[in-house]
Amino acid sequence: MRSRVKARHALTLFVVLLASCGTPSNEVLPRDASPPQDQSIAEAEFKSPSFGWALRRDALYITSNRGQSWKRVPVPAGAESARSAALRDSTHAWLAAISDLDVRIYSTADQGKAWHTATLTPTSQPGNAVLSARDGVQGLLVEHQTSSNFSSADFFSSMDGSTWQRHQAPIAGTFALASASVVLLAGGPAHDQLWRSANLGATWTRVDVEGLSIGTFTLGTPVMTDASNGLLPVTLNDDAASRALFYITSDGGKSWARRGSVDVQASTGSGASIPTTVSEDGSTWFAVAPSGSRIYVSTDKGGTFEVKSPNGLPAGIVELSFADGKNGWARTSTGFCAGDKTSCASAEALFATADGGQTWNQLSVTS
């Protein structure tokens, strides 16, 4: 499930801590070491052991065998610069690409044989665009280009992927589609606001999360397992050992109750958040230290967390996606420098595990 999105379950959780939100980590390599192969992975989602997808900076790929091999989906001219994707299955896909003052949505219902294009005009110059799809509805959040002191966006929705309705969003951030009508939006200038819409963005109501004080926390992306139940991850940035809190809802995001927490021996820094995911089968929650040295796994809805020391997982994790409690992917964005710090490189890559996060290997996303 990716948490928009993404990643869009009963709850098993993997929580991942970032060295800084949205910024690649920097690591000094031994002289005989090399960084992960850069494959420019912009987004990825592991929906089931038999279906997953990855959006590279130049193409869309799908897999039916956990990423061991890939099929390239042909995309129309202009879609190569897509910022975000949403796939319902292996045949239905939507891509969002920013073009000057507009956002173009490309949709296919036949695995890329034919594409339909819709041009959407936001109320201000677009800076970023994020797609999600659920229950026959597509959602698009277009963030405006503003200073860091402001947060504004438009929310677009569609029932058919071709005709879109535009509404003003209260803030920019990340969102989740809870149902065919309910949207949850987390963000704001300090990443500490949660909003809910019951009519696909036509009107919004701010939601208070009990027990949180302003200035000490960062909200992550809500993850809805169905129309009623979901998870809201929260990062506390007060201490050297950052803490991840987990709130659950059973009323479609109207109210939230604290369910569990875990301490991570690293500081994410002010304003940083912990990317979280719930496995698609609803069995597990997950979390990771910035160095990739620890993964925290809960199979009892946040009651307890098992600590694992993973092998093969680099620093710089930005997104997790798990099909079940065993099979998962980690998208990484990492900057590397040689031992003398004079030769540096960066890599956006995708890593896979088949044993619940203990062992990881980089996937080769190419056909």
* Span 278-331, pLDDT tens digits: 898 888 999 887 678 889 999 999 999 999 999 999 888 888 999 999 999 999
CA atoms of 33 and 328, how far apart (whole Å): 25
CA 287 to chain centre: 14
Work out the burial of residue 228: count CB atoms within 10 Å of its CB; fewer than 13 is exposed, 13-18 middle, 19 or more buried.
middle
Output the DSSP codes for 105-118.
Answer: EEEESSTTSS-EEE
Place of tokens 């060295």: 19
Domain ranges in the chain are 13-362
What is the chain's pLDDT, residue by residue, as a tens digit (367 residues)? 654 434 333 333 333 333 333 444 545 444 445 668 888 999 999 999 999 999 998 889 999 999 999 999 999 888 888 989 999 999 999 999 998 899 999 999 999 999 999 999 999 999 999 999 998 999 999 999 888 778 999 999 999 888 999 999 999 999 999 999 999 999 999 889 999 999 999 999 999 998 886 657 889 899 998 999 999 998 887 656 678 889 999 999 999 999 988 887 666 666 667 777 889 888 899 988 767 888 999 999 999 999 999 999 988 888 899 999 999 999 998 877 766 666 677 789 999 999 999 999 999 999 8
Give, in order, the Cα–Cα distances in Å from 263 to each of 221, 237, 281.
19, 11, 25
Write the Ramachandran bin of 85: left for phi over 0, alpha for psi from -120 to 50, otherwise beta.
beta
Distance CA 350, CA 63 (A): 13
pLDDT of residue 18: 32
- Residue carrying structure tokens 């960084």: 35
Q: Residue type at 48?
A: S
For residue 290, which amino acid is it? Answer: P
Q: What predicted TM-score, i.e. pTM, was given to this entire model?
A: 0.86
Cα–Cα distance list, 64 to 42, 70, 72, 85, 139 (Å): 20, 8, 12, 18, 25
Domain 13-362 has CATH 1.10.1740.10: no
Cβ 359 vs Cβ 310: under 8 Å: yes
